[in-house]
Structure 1
Amino acid sequence: MTSPLLSLRNAALSLRSNAGDVNILRDISLDVHAGETIGLTGPSGSGKSSLLMLMGGLERATSGTVTALGQDLGQMGEDALARLRRDNIGVVFQAFHLIPTLTALENVATPLELAGAADAQSRAEAELQAVGLAHRMHHYPAQMSGGEQQRVALARAAAPRPRLILADEPTGNLDAANGAAIVDLLFELHDRHDATLVLVTHDMALAARCDRVLHLSDGALADDRARADLPA
């Protein structure tokens, strides 16, 4: 059996506060294999987003280990982590995090240019076309709807052709119709790039589209079930 793309072993995350340490995640152990789609569910405050951040090296585990794409994230410096994310991991947030002074095309192309990609412009154009924004390439974020801005964010995440896509409530700021369209695009992106997708969501119907559903409760992994094992 091939090695997992992501592996967490007894991973924990604590943050210091004036009242003492706050335990955000406790003793998380799981494997995610290449090509899987994972729905990450749980009530607000259960640690879903924090777990996603650990997976992408955006937070460091207080104890335990997090291995992504064969790299022990806890042993990597910030520059090495940034390169790993740039080349292999696409992150999509609830807030779009677009640069307001750049057009849609520039928002997607700039990370590729910083990585030294000679075909940055053509790849950015192709990804914007793939998310239905060929007619909006030269518009600025303020000139686009929320749904369109999230499509730009998806195109930016997809342009490096990542092996891993991490999506944190990507439909949280959108209405139902735009949210459904973004979800469809996420799964299309997963299929097109043969990527692994980990998706944080409160929507159990959306989570049920994934190969596996992980449920967090009070910072701990409470359930890990394949789609076939979920209630109909």
Structure 2
Amino acid sequence: MVLSTFRQLSRLPPKFDNTIKAFLGLLTNNLGYNPDPEDKCFNWEAFKRSIDRDQSNKIVFDAYSSNSESSKMMSVENAANTAANFILGSFRPLMGLEDIQGNILEALVNLERGKREDWASFVPDHSAASLGRAIDPRPASGLGQFITSILSRAAPSGLRREARVPDPESFWELRFLLCSNEPTVPDDFSAVVSTIKIGSVTKGEVDWLAFTQQTSRNFSLELTRMNVVVTNGFNRDP
């Protein structure tokens, strides 16, 4: 089994194999590690700097977009559809929406496999997610703020009343790479690098692994994508 930090949806001829391998190496170099080495988030700022520093002119930034949805009741299937519509964007003529929706849905109900194969990361609470910074940071709205502590208040009798600490909002980051090329530009391919962060109040990782496509919960979403154009022969710096 070949591990990859991004789940690939590629429609490229074999001549791009080495270039894709080099591009995946560049992406992997820009994963940020949370305190637990197994909890990884993609660092968009670092990735953009890597593109800007490239001297070969064989990787070019095209567009960047991010969107978040506050926690609301939805099914896992609806979350997959929302993510697919955002990720495809202007890339839609090159790939079918239904294919992407199905692939994302499959990923969301196979999170344990995603973690094992390295394209999905579980983060117990989103306070550690700052290592996965977006390029244009905004106040957290999709995932909210994790309450780190609640102070007990003294009751009139002088006895201290213990406040209940709510379950934390954990999340998963899923990483996707979509690639396609047009016959009119035979030596280039278009790539969409994307992350899906889906959050919910749970009692831990095991809760997530029981989800099916019909599971409905209060989910929040942070969706990010970057479009780049890569020329065959790209080779990341050693």
Higher relative contact order (CA 8 A, sep 6+): 2
Over alpha carbons, which structure has the higher Rg?
2
Q: TM-score range by the shorter chain?
A: under 0.3
Structure whose residues are more often strand by fraction: 2
Provide the TM-score with structure 2 as the length reference: 0.24
Q: Which has the higher helix share?
A: 1
